[in-house]
């Protein structure tokens, strides 16, 4: 762990998963004594604990990385996780189901006024929750119609906030719809931005100041755990929406993607706006939301023939054609 160069939050997550789910099963065995059967028994134990396939797959990847490092350091000859009989947990296929616009507006109305414009930013600009929490006045070009996504608010150990680059370190520009610009302007009139200073990336990082558009009632940066528990889920319950994982604020990003795809936006452009590292990931996530090729073909041919028929018919002159 000391040699990892990932961001602090990722390091904390990896350390926690290894400590809770790997060390108790594997930690006392010498590296060179592992066989594939040990890994298979361990994976079965994780499954018996009721952990989700995605979570188990992440833990398996961390353990495999440890063994790979040991191979590269020539402590062991082979990674037992790479054996053909050791299979990473398979992800259950899940298709994103975007919220209908009516649900979004209902949940928005159920939120306190100071948080309602968050829905506009997430559903109409595709920002992640942390990116919306980290949005500052200086990031919004109202005249140019652009939002610059340059930071997020992250929570490190003991829920202490820091500013950090957007997920994946990918800064980006997102079109700012006029409706969102008006919503943000109205929000700022009622709830002025607050200058917040937080360390950058790590708790001992250099201080960075930004005029945050969205803050808590005490003028502090939003804490995702507190916000989800005390603000978001109560709004879901008030509108009859289940409070499970599929209905977190991330559902608003899925809505954004579905609207753009329905309007004919390209996967490449959508990937850029969402801040994905690879358009292929965007395609795999949202391909089922794209208009079918058959629908596009029929519409395209109908348009061509409609235009041709209108040209051939020409204006009605009262004379019968040949």
The per-residue pLDDT for range 184-234, each reduced to its tens digit, is: 999 999 999 999 999 999 999 999 999 999 999 999 999 999 999 999 999
Cβ atoms of 124 and 256 within 8 Å: the answer is: yes
Give 139's DSSP letter. G
The percentage of residues in the chain with a pLDDT greater than 90, rounded to a whole number, is 73
What is the Cα Rg of the chain in Å? 25
* Residues in the chain, overall count: 322
Mean pLDDT of 51-71: 93
Long-range contacts from 37-44, C-beta under 8 angstroms, 24+ separation: 38/80, 39/63, 39/80, 39/81, 39/83, 39/86, 40/85, 40/86, 43/86, 43/87, 43/89
The percentage of residues in the chain with a pLDDT greater than 70, rounded to a whole number, is 91
Separation in Å, CA 44 to CA 18, 21, 55, 60? 16, 12, 14, 12
| List of domains in the chain | 8-82 (1.10.150.130), 101-240 (1.10.443.10)
Residue 13 has pLDDT above 90, yes or no: no
Query: Residue 305: what pLDDT?
Result: 73
Q: Could you count the other beta carbons within 10 Å of the beta carbon of residue 188?
A: 15
Q: Which of 3-7, 111-115, 168-172, 286-290 has the lowest mean pLDDT?
A: 3-7
Query: Residue 322: what pLDDT?
Result: 38
Residue 160 has pLDDT above 50, yes or no: yes
- Tens digit of pLDDT for each residue in 254-306? 999 999 998 889 999 999 999 998 999 898 889 888 876 555 556 667 767 76
- Tens digit of pLDDT for each residue in 90-132? 987 678 889 999 999 999 999 999 999 999 999 999 999 999 9
Higher-scoring residue by pLDDT: 187, 312: 187
């Amino acid at each position: 762990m000391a040699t990892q160069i990932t961001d602090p939050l990722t390091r904390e997550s990896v350390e926690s998963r290894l400590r809770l789910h790997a060390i108790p099963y594997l930690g006392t065995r010498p590296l060179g004594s592992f066989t594939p059967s040990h890994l298979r028994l361990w994976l079965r134990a994780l499954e018996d604990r009721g952990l989700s396939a995605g979570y188990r797959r992440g833990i398996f990847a961390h353990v495999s990385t440890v063994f790979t490092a040991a191979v590269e350091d020539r402590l062991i000859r082979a990674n037992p996780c790479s054996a053909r009989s050791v299979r990473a947990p398979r992800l259950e296929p899940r298709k994103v189901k975007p919220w209908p616009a009516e649900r979004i507006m209902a949940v928005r109305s159920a939120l306190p006024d100071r948080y309602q414009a968050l829905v506009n930013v997430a559903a109409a600009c595709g920002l992640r929750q942390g990116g919306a929490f980290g949005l500052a006045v200086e990031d919004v070009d109202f005249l140019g119609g652009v939002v610059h996504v340059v930071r997020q608010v992250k929570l490190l150990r003991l829920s202490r906030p820091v500013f950090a680059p957007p997920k994946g370190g990918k800064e980006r520009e997102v079109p700012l719809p006029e409706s969102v610009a008006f919503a943000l302007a109205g929000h700022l009139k009622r709830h002025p931005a607050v200058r917040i200073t937080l360390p950058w990336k790590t708790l001992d990082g250099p201080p960075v100041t930004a005029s945050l558009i969205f803050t808590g009632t005490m003028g502090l940066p939003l804490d995702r755990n507190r916000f989800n528990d005390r603000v978001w889920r109560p709004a879901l319950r008030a509108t009859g929406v289940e409070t499970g994982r599929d209905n977190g604020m991330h559902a608003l990003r899925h809505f954004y993607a579905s609207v753009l795809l329905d309007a004919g936006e390209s996967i490449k452009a959508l990937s850029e706006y969402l801040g994905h590292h690879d358009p292929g990931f965007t395609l795999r996530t949202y391909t089922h939301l794209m208009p079918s090729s058959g629908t596009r073909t029929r519409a395209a041919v109908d348009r061509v023939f409609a235009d041709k028929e209108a040209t051939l018919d020409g204006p009605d002159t009262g004379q019968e054609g040949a």
